[in-house]
Amino acid sequence: MVTPGETRLDIRIEGDLVFYGLQAKPFEPTPDPRFLWLGGRRRHGLDRLRLAVDRYAGLVVLAGDAGIGKTMLANALIADLGEGATVASLGSGRLDPVQFHRVVARACHLDAAADSPGDLLGQLQRFLGEARRTGRKVLLVLDDAHTLSREMFGEIRRLLGIGDGDPQARAGGAVGALLVGERVLAGPLPEPELAQRVVLRWVVEPLTPDEVGAYVAHRLEVAGATRNPFTPEAVHEVWARSGGVPRLVNALCAHALVLGGRAMAMGSRCASLTIGPDLVKEAARGLTALEQRPGPTDRGRRAPPAAHAPRERPRRRAAVMAAGLTLLALTGAAAGYLGSSQPPTSAPSQPIVPPQPIVPPQPSAPPLDRPPPRLPGTTEAAPVRPDRGRAVTPPATRPPPSA
């Protein structure tokens, strides 16, 4: 995908004008009100902006990604206000309060060279208060408003609050501000009181595939083309590689026209008045700032990856792995050195107990009131005297005397 902020295109061959019947370059990067396309959701969004600025006094936020077309929409809104409105346009949000007041005073045809900041602010308060009473439209337009400081948001709140509660203020008189910037403005503003004055917040979305086709055809028609050289497949390839961002659509289509005109000027056999998807892919490879990202989806299909994306070389991969291993080894060595340099943690002292000898278990002696068991094949044991613990031999019996 082409990066919005870094698109550089060198178009020095006029073959695209000659061979495609164009009277002007249809895809120039500069905002040209002649090529403003207000199809689809953009016309509805611009109508809401006009209504918010015309009928309500407050803050209007116009946010979106880089290259989405916010500047052309803001210029179209300013052109619709006409000469009856006073518009103070600030091209950059990086201003301090004094510079901000001087730019607004200059747009209001006041004395912007006042020495004192208090005098300058006093002139602005009187002018804006009179505009509220006479019904004159005053619009402050701040581009790159996402770069504003909190202090600057406070100054905007102060200017918008001039004339509040004035019983002589007319309903038609409105002092408003238009903040134009990136998508971050869609979130909460840093000044809570200023956030309460937001009457409309419009986040401009990228173009759909059908809107890209209508956008390309419109710009070709304004440039004088009698036919559209881009095939439907080529338009879909433009959408897939640009993500629907108008600035990137312009870059791809302009380069594709240059490549097609160059091929026909050189008499190439593959030259044709029809631009297909292959020529769009070649145009994408020829841009100096090309970045591959996951593109938008169309019914679940992701945009194809750019064919020019360089592959990682084996040598570079090996060098990266070797550097990682070296760093890992150095980290381990440093951890070991730091661990060895610290003294060991002393444990609390415990009394040393000598080892005890192991005593084998002794068989339990039979009770004294019972005779020991008699084994098979043995005679009955002599009774044991409990007082001495030894056997007593019974007296021998003598035979009776013979008669």
Please give the structure tokens belonging to residue 323: 């550097």
Closest to 174 measured CA to CA, from 58, 87, 312: 58
Instruction: Give the whole-angstrom CA distance, residue 246 versus residue 243.
Output: 9
pLDDT level of residue 60 (50, 70, 90 thresholds): very high
Please give the structure tokens belonging to residue 364: 């339990």
Exposed e or buried b for every residue in 372-403, given b needs 16+ CB within 10 A? eeeeeeeeeeeeeeeeeeeeeeeeeeeeeeee
Place of tokens 């390839």: 237
Highest-scoring range by mean pLDDT, 54-63, 124-133, 248-257, 389-398:
248-257
Report the pLDDT value the prediction gives residue 316, as an integer from 0 to 100. 61
pLDDT tens per residue across span 81-96: 877 788 888 876 677 8
Q: Between helices 150-160 and 97-107, what is the axis angle to 10°?
A: 40
With a pLDDT cut of 70, the percent of the chain lying above it is: 61
**pTM for the full model?**
0.65
**pLDDT over threshold 70, residue 101:** yes
Which residues are CB-neighbours of 4 under 8 A, at least 6 positions away?
65, 66, 67, 245, 247, 248
Which pairs from 108-117 meet CB under 8 Å and 24+ separation?
Answer: 108/138
Residue 61: which H helix or E strand, with range?
strand 59-64
